[in-house]
């Protein structure tokens, strides 16, 4: 992975949604920032460039804004949460090969926790560019509090191309609109018509990603139809 030089970006807005923040930035005047859906960057909160953290890009390339979504569980993220409109941050990248195929087809996006962020970029790009493609999103979390942007997801689910299934492992809220339990082969088969013919994108903690890859293999999904990115 060839290293790139950090470039200055201007904060357009920063909004808090629950325990998360959504940061919108723009490149310097006369500069462009090109990226592929699902890629990530390194963000430096100030010009000293002493500290950084990797961030998956939340927006799709087709959107006017460059968006990032994050919590405040690190010094870098905490510093970013204090930024105001017009302030500067520095971005290096983009990096990563976890992105849409050259010839995308109907797709299944499977994620856990913050794995929703790069898959949101992929999903939005697929919809913007491939009007006739169907997108199926399966999203697993331990508790409802861990769900990113539940209201946005429910609105997204109303899109005629999008189908979303959320599931929880450690609680059963009375008004929960999704399912309970781990994402399983029966769950996928029930939710996704002709699942073996779809293209799969998986993102989340390593143990989760390994489990899903093994599950898809047992279902007969060809390895070339499954892309994955894991951490931890």
What residues contact 153, with CB distance under 8 A and at least 6 apart?
137, 139, 147, 164, 166
Provide CATH 3.40.50.80 ranges for the chain: 107-231
- Tell me phi and psi for residue 56, to 5 degrees: -70, 145
Question: Can you give the pTM of this predicted structure?
Answer: 0.92
Is the CATH number of domain 107-231 3.40.50.80?
Answer: yes
B/e letters for 217-229, b = 16+ CB within 10 Å, e = fewer, are: eeeebeeebbbbb
Q: How many helices (H) does the chain have, and how many strands (E)?
A: 5, 12
**CA 9/CA 79 separation, integer angstroms:** 15
- How many residues in total does the chain contain? 232
Name the phi and psi angles at 62, rounded to 5. -75, -15
pLDDT at 24: 98
Q: How far apart are CA 24 and CA 70, in angstroms?
A: 12
Encode pLDDT of 21-38 as tens digits: 999 999 999 999 999 999
Torsion of CA 20, 65, 120, 70, to 10 degrees: -20
Q: What is the pLDDT of residue 130?
A: 65
Q: Please, where in the chain does CATH 2.40.30.10 lie?
A: 7-95
Identify the three-state secondary structure at position 128: helix
pLDDT at position 1: 58
Tens of pLDDT, residue by residue over 37-63, are: 999 999 999 999 999 999 999 999 999
Q: Which residues of the chain have pLDDT under 50?
A: none
Other beta carbons less than 10 A from residue 29's beta carbon? 6
CATH number, domain 7-95: 2.40.30.10
């Amino acid at each position: 992975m060839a290293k790139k030089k950090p470039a200055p970006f201007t904060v357009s807005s920063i909004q808090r949604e629950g325990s998360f923040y959504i940061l919108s930035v723009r490149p310097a005047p006369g500069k462009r920032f090109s990226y592929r859906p699902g890629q990530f960057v390194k963000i430096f909160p100030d010009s000293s460039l002493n500290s950084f953290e990797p961030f998956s890009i939340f927006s799709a390339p087709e959107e006017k804004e460059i968006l990032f979504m994050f919590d405040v569980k690190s010094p870098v993220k905490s510093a970013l949460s204090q930024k105001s409109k017009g302030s500067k941050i520095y971005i290096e990248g983009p990096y990563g090969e976890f992105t849409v195929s050259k010839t995308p087809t109907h797709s299944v996006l499977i994620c856990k926790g913050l794995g929703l962020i790069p898959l949101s970029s992929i999903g939005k790009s697929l919809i913007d560019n491939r009007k006739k493609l169907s997108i199926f999103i399966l999203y697993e979390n331990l508790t409802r509090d861990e769900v990113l942007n539940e209201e946005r997801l429910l609105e997204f689910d109303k899109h005629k191309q999008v189908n979303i299934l959320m599931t929880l492992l450690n609680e059963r809220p009375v008004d929960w609109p999704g399912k309970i339990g781990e994402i399983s082969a029966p769950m996928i088969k029930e939710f996704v018509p002709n699942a073996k013919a779809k293209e799969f994108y998986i993102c989340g903690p390593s143990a989760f990603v390994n489990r899903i890859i093994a599950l898809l293999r047992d279902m007969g999904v060809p390895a070339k139809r499954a892309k994955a990115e894991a951490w931890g």
